[in-house]
Amino acid sequence: MFEAISNAFKGFQHRLLLWRRVPPIFFILPLLLGLGWIAWTYLQGVDLFQEPTYEQIDAAMVAQGLISHEEVDTTGMVTPYSTGKIYQWIRGGVIVWLLASILGWVLSLIRWPTHIPLKSVASLCLVAAVIVVGDDVYQNWEGARESFIGEEASFPAYLGKIGLIFALLVSPAFALVYYARSSIMDRYLIRNVAQPLAFCFAAFLAIWLIIDLSDHGPSFIDAGVPFHKVLWFYLIQVPMIVVQVLPVTVLLSLLYALGRMSRSNEIISMLGAGKSVGQVLRPAFISGIYLSLVCFALNYYWAPMAEGRKDSMYRAIKEGYEDDTIVDKQFYRNRAEQRSWYIGEIPFDLREDKLRNVWVQEQDAMGQPTRTIVAKSARWWPPAGPWRFYNAKTVEYEYTGDGRITQNIVYYDEKESEVGDKFDMDLPETPWRIFSSSFDPEYLGVPELTSYINTNSSLPPEQLAPFRTFRQYRMAYPWSCLVVVLLAAPLGLVFSRRGLLGGVAACVFLFFAMFFVDNLFLAMGQGNQIGALLGSWASNLIFTVIGAILLFIRTRNRDFPTPKSIWNNLFGKPI
């Protein structure tokens, strides 16, 4: 049965290869379906206008003689068009077109051996980039320009984020264009490196998945977690895994590809045909640059955030609730004003959700409490407050001369109070100031690190050093892929079996040395012993120089220096 299915597929592929191109109906019909969906939803009466503003509702409440905003009838209020709603309307049609075009793209990919599907891949990448960037802008644009939680938002860092999203998603199309326009030799070299690269990455991913499932799998099974939640839990971790394993994957795949070509004398044949070492290694360096850019885009925001959310996601999936909490059980002490805060849960979206289980206590100069606020939830209103507490009680303490304490308790609860279930109070603390004190810079992306540094610029340099170092490190670490190529290429390009073994051993030694130096300088930067720039980039600079020297020696067809030869040259006598 398997052979029959395989023969049928081969026959279909053969007939498909006889076509000069995939019939246009497979791409025209999806476009018509997408336009039809947009027109149909418009005729159904899609709402494309903004919601009434607070001022409009307040004026209507006064005009209608009402006492609550909830009683206001908003029908007939004139509001401008909403850019977000228009985007959501058009986005629906684009998704319909995208889904309907899957068959045409699959047919194009089947014909890949003889016809590279540049247009199909480019259109798919472009549409995916527009949708993902559009969704991010729709959700985060206002928050990036104006803070909702009290931090100093970094709009340029956010623009860098969405620019990297777009570049990452459209990059496969450019990579395919480069491959299509390359020479036959360059294509052959790219394939020789890409195949072991894919296998190595799949192997590392499988090893990581097996180890993680052995730790978390029994808990998922005992809690009866659905498969789709477990799948989403691991998909979120993919950017982190890519960033962590990509340098060593590049190292192993490049050593394997160049070693195999050296043993079969293919490298000698290329050099004998008039190709220089630079021309032979050009595809490897271009691939290293591309993979560094991919790693840079992922390490800018998604990889550190995925690593930071792993524990909270695991706890939420295991216990069966939605993972909407950025920080839980947070304590903050404002020593200057003698005020302590405890917040049970801080959600991700403070525009829609409230802080839960809030406790605030104020003290006098002697450390004795003067007022305590206990609330079921609270919300902070930008740009400078006030705080609004819901379902709360306040306790004010008065101390008499004989040491007695009088408590004045006021309830703000629907069941026990006539003053309402909420009250406002002006307090200098902001949500960002409260929960950013517990931030670990290792789990923050560049936008969050920039916001933290800008907001807390008055802190001592020792406290800001880890955040400044990791902001630089987010941009420095991805280029280790290119540094690895610079080390592995000259050491893997050999002309004998003995040279191959020595080159592989030297390359592995240099890789672990780079890993050690990288962590050493990073730790020194976090400890404010050296500058953030030096602590983040020193490892790349050192091993780039070493790689450039090795490449120069290889292009001059000279032997690499050995410890024995270095000793003789320095001291003029044998070891």
Write the pLDDT tens digit of every residue in 491-509. 877 665 555 666 777 888 8
Question: CB–CB of 491/259 below 8 Å?
Answer: no
The residue to which tokens 């398997």 are assigned: 2
Would you say residue 388 has pLDDT above 90?
no
Question: CB–CB of 313/236 below 8 Å?
Answer: yes
3-state helix, strand, coil in the chain (%, to 5): 65, 10, 25
For residue 541, the model assigns a pLDDT of 94
* Three-state secondary-structure class, residue 150: coil
From residue 290, how far is each of 240, 297, 353, 544 by CA, in Å? 18, 11, 40, 17
Q: Report which secondary-structure segment, H or E, holds 399.
A: strand 387-399
How far apart are the C-alpha atoms of 304 and 239, rounded to whole Å? 9
Would you say residue 431 has pLDDT above 80?
yes
In whole numbers, what is the pLDDT of the chain averaged over residues?
Answer: 81
Binned at pLDDT 50, 70 and 90, residue 421 comes out as confident
Binned at pLDDT 50, 70 and 90, residue 469 comes out as very high
What are residue 424's DSSP bridge partners?
Answer: 388
Question: CB–CB of 338/516 below 8 Å?
Answer: no
Binned at pLDDT 50, 70 and 90, residue 321 comes out as low
Strand 339-347 and strand 355-363: the pairing is antiparallel
Query: Could you say which DSSP state residue 420 is in?
Result: -
From residue 454, how far is each of 130, 139, 152, 271, 461 by CA, in Å? 30, 23, 6, 54, 13
* Burial class of residue 54 (count of CB atoms within 10 Å of its CB; 0-12, 13-18, 19+): exposed
Q: Tell me which of 350 and 441 has the higher pLDDT.
A: 441
Question: CB–CB of 300/161 below 8 Å?
Answer: yes
How far apart are the C-alpha atoms of 63 and 561, rounded to whole Å? 89
Q: What pTM does this model have? A: 0.80
How far apart are the C-alpha atoms of 107 and 97, rounded to whole Å? 16
Check residue 79 and give left, alpha or beta (phi > 0: left; psi -120 to 50: alpha): beta
Over residues 25-50, mean pLDDT: 84
Question: CB–CB of 81/50 below 8 Å?
Answer: yes
